[in-house]
Amino acid sequence: MIKVGVVGGTGYTGVELLRLLSRHPQVELTAITSRGEAGMPVAEMFPSLRRRVDLKFVTPQDAQLEKCDAVFFATPNGIAMKQAAELVAAGVRVIDLAADFRIRDVAEWQKWYGMEHAAPALVAEAVYGLPEVNREQIRNARVLANPGCYPTAVQLGFLPLVEAGVIDADHLIADAKSGVSGAGRKAEVHTLLPEAADSFKAYGVAGHRHLPEIRQGLSLAAGRTVGLTFVPHLTPMIRGIHATLYGRIKPGIELPDLQALFEKRYAGEAFVDVMPAGSHPETRSVRASNLCRIAVHRPQGGDTVVVLSVIDNLVKGAAGQAVQNLNIMFGFDEEAGLDIVPVSP
Ligand SMILES: NC(=O)c1ccc[n+]([C@@H]2O[C@H](COP(=O)([O-])OP(=O)(O)OC[C@H]3O[C@@H](n4cnc5c(N)ncnc54)[C@H](OP(=O)(O)O)[C@@H]3O)[C@@H](O)[C@H]2O)c1
């Protein structure tokens, strides 16, 4: 058993971590923080966790995080970077669900996130936690940068094509839609029911913070800088991301069987399901699970490949992937705590 702390236990990714960790056979939850709700039983705020989590929220200062084996930060950007060095020095392994350690170029990170980085040295050693790409490096990570939700869906969808070099890497297009829980639990006007329900809109067309993260991952996969147009949308669902990805087939190449390419790339991956040719994956087919379901199409045999990639933003897009990374880091079965059948309807 390892001792695990969660900083930010009152948020959406925090409560999702608690749901998954409370049934993990090798994890003992020892500290769950909230600055505003310290002293309140966790199960009072989240009755879904009654008889599963007996702890009370504590302040981050009282949490004795240095006594944990691993600490998850389910906090806004800019929090983990201030505490990670001290924890790492105490032998604690840090998993950040925010973006503090995701972008290797610190100047680029500072530009997109609008703050000075507090721990650039740790950025250099942090491992980007997309297991389907970095499994070996994740095993020894002391600081783990858990990928963003859109970046997970988009990268998993594009990777087989980009790695094989069969599409024009200068003109990738990712059209992605997210449920409202992607914005977190804090009160904001745009996530109120009358604002978000029964409506549909794009946002961040000029540049979303996940753009440099996706570009970094796909550029590494391509072995060169890729060109990407990324347009996120807010859709009136609670959970789920649906990414529709477009790539132009390079002229004059011998195109492999695309279905076989995807099946081979993800053979043996527990959490990536390449669906049968012609499929249209639905977000509800992955709801509450750590799965990414993918389908690859070539409409009318033309020069454009269309990939459909769906995840639950709170699970494979956040807490589930973070637990998957914990499992790899501590040598547990990668599926421990994550063997969940999606909820339908
Ligand atoms: N929602 C998603 O789908 C999703 C997906 C991937 C990644 N992420 C990332 O995961 C992180 C958490 O997202 P979320 O949606 O769970 O956010 P959230 O619902 O707004 O929750 C944020 C949590 O952080 C805590 N917190 C805020 N400021 C803090 C501080 N200064 N020190 C300590 N704790 C603090 C809050 O607790 P108290 O105020 O009670 O202390 C709360 O529990 C974000 O960085 C987000 O970008 C989210």
The domain limits of the chain are 2-125, 150-312
DSSP β-bridge partners for residue 28: 3
What pLDDT is stored for residue 71 in this prediction? 98
Average pLDDT over residues 320-334: 98
- Model pTM score: 0.98
The CATH class given to the 2-125 domain equals alpha beta
What pLDDT is stored for residue 104 in this prediction? 98
Give the pLDDT confidence of 161-187 residue by residue, as tens digits: 999 999 999 999 999 999 999 999 999
DSSP characters for 91-135?
T-EEEESSSTTT-S-HHHHHHHH-S--S-HHHHHH-EE--HHHHH
150-312, superfamily in CATH? Answer: Dihydrodipicolinate Reductase; domain 2 (3.30.360.10)
CB 156 within 8 A of CB 217: no
CB 148 within 8 A of CB 137: no
Give the pLDDT confidence of 245-259 residue by residue, as tens digits: 999 999 999 999 999
Q: Mutate which of 13, 82, 113 to test ligand 1's pocket (most atoms within 8 Å of Cβ)?
A: 13
Percent of the chain, pLDDT > 90? 99
Pocket of ligand 1 (CB under 6 A): 7-14, 34-37, 60, 74-77, 79, 97-98, 148-149, 181-182, 184-186, 313-314, 317-318
Q: Quote the tokens at residue 62.
A: 């009282």
Find the catalytic residue in 123, 149, 180, 310. Answer: 149
Active site residue 149: yes
